[in-house]
Amino acid sequence: MTSIAYTAGLHQIADGCWAWLQPDGGWGLSNAGLLDGDGESLLVDTQFDLARTRRMLAAMAPVTAGSPIRHAVNTHGNGDHCYGNELLDPAVRIWAAPEASAHLQAESPQLLSTLMGLDMDPGLSDYLRRSFGAFDFTGIRSRLPDADVTADTELSVGSRTVRLLRCGPAHTHGDVAVFDPASGVVFTGDLLFIGGTPIMWAGPASSWIAALQRLLALDADTYVPGHGPVTGAAGVREVIEYLAHVEAGAAELHARGRTVRQAAAELDLGRFAGWGNPERLVINIDSCYRHLDPAHPAPDVVSLFTLMAGWPG
């Protein structure tokens, strides 16, 4: 893998292949990608708000002027990968798993603004403002994908044949990775967080691990994560190891009768403790508990964010 500096902006990572990177990869600071098929392009993900999406599209303009974006992929339904969809030309066909479309339809872009404006626990309010206060959700209109990825799909993008890989459930219920065999590049969406703590909204961990093992089997040169620096196979393996570590620890602590809060405080993260947003462990343990025990309550967003705000206490 060619070394790619982890600096903000557009980076060419292979012939006809670019990554849009947003350090430090924390909440909402997502990566994206562009594939030029000589006459038309494919965009992988938009951004969390309109201003960031405009900046990204402007940086891509020297490429897309000659190869207009004809296809886009939303790798999943979290807003930091699709809230900028409305800025794409109406003729652009947007691909996503149907579960991602349902997620986007069900969750208003203004939800976080609403939560930040509520009179809540001061710790939670402060955490939400620190995590999401830099983004402007005003006036965003959800543009839904219009092409379902229900199975692996080959997509012609000019001279390129790109593979859309249906993965998971893993990070969410509708994860899709984009593999360009010609360049040996995989855009993983949030199947990969590099240097930051993965967050398991869906799971189970075993399904996420299987998805990552499948991506490893592609023997690709380069993996562009949803958050964090561009990586090679070693970065994929490290995320597998994190997920396996949390899955095993959660199973042990569940068997000992620990609550999610207790388990998140007790589980030793070891070498993963230095990753960004370690408080996401709370959500990961809650997900593991749900898959261990069908009677475990369904997740409530406010409750989970409250637990993260109070971690590790």
SS3 state at 210: helix
What confidence score (pLDDT) does residue 174 get? Answer: 97
Could you give the C-alpha distances from 201 to 76, 90, 238, 298, in angstroms and in order?
11, 30, 19, 11
Please tell me whether the peptide bond between 136 and the residue prior to it is cis, using omega within 30 degrees of 0: no
Max Cα–Cα distance, the chain, nearest Å: 61
Q: Which residue has the tokens 């990869």?
A: 25
Closest to 108 in 3D by CA, of 62, 144, 156: 144
Calculate the CA 13 to chain-centre distance. 20
15, pLDDT greater than 90 = yes
149, pLDDT greater than 70 = yes
Identify the band that residue 313 occupies on the pLDDT scale cut at 50, 70 and 90.
low
Tell me what percent of the residues of the chain surpass a pLDDT of 70: 99
270, pLDDT greater than 80 = yes
- Write the pLDDT tens digit of every residue in 26-45: 999 999 999 999 999 999 99
Mean pLDDT of 192-215: 98
Q: Which of 1-5, 103-107, 157-161, 308-312 is the least confident region?
A: 1-5
Q: Compute the mean pLDDT over every residue in the chain, rounded to the nearest whole number.
A: 96
Using CA of residue 153, residue 104, residue 291, residue 112, what is the dihedral sign?
A: positive
Torsion angle in degrees (nearest 10) through CA of 59, 100, 165, 4: 30
- Domains along the sequence of the chain with CATH: 9-130+145-310 (3.60.15.10)
pTM of the model: 0.97
Closest to 284 in 3D by CA, of 103, 210, 254, 104: 254
- Write the pLDDT tens digit of every residue in 74-123: 999 999 999 999 999 999 999 999 999 999 999 888 888 888 887 778 88
What confidence score (pLDDT) does residue 108 get? Answer: 86
What confidence score (pLDDT) does residue 107 get? Answer: 87
- Write the pLDDT tens digit of every residue in 272-303: 999 999 999 999 999 999 999 999 998 788 89
Q: Which residue has the tokens 């993008």?
A: 157
Tell me which DSSP letter residue 182 carries. Answer: T
2, pLDDT greater than 80 = no
What confidence score (pLDDT) does residue 29 get? Answer: 98
What confidence score (pLDDT) does residue 105 get? Answer: 92
- Write the pLDDT tens digit of every residue in 169-193: 999 999 999 999 999 999 999 999 9
What confidence score (pLDDT) does residue 115 get? Answer: 82
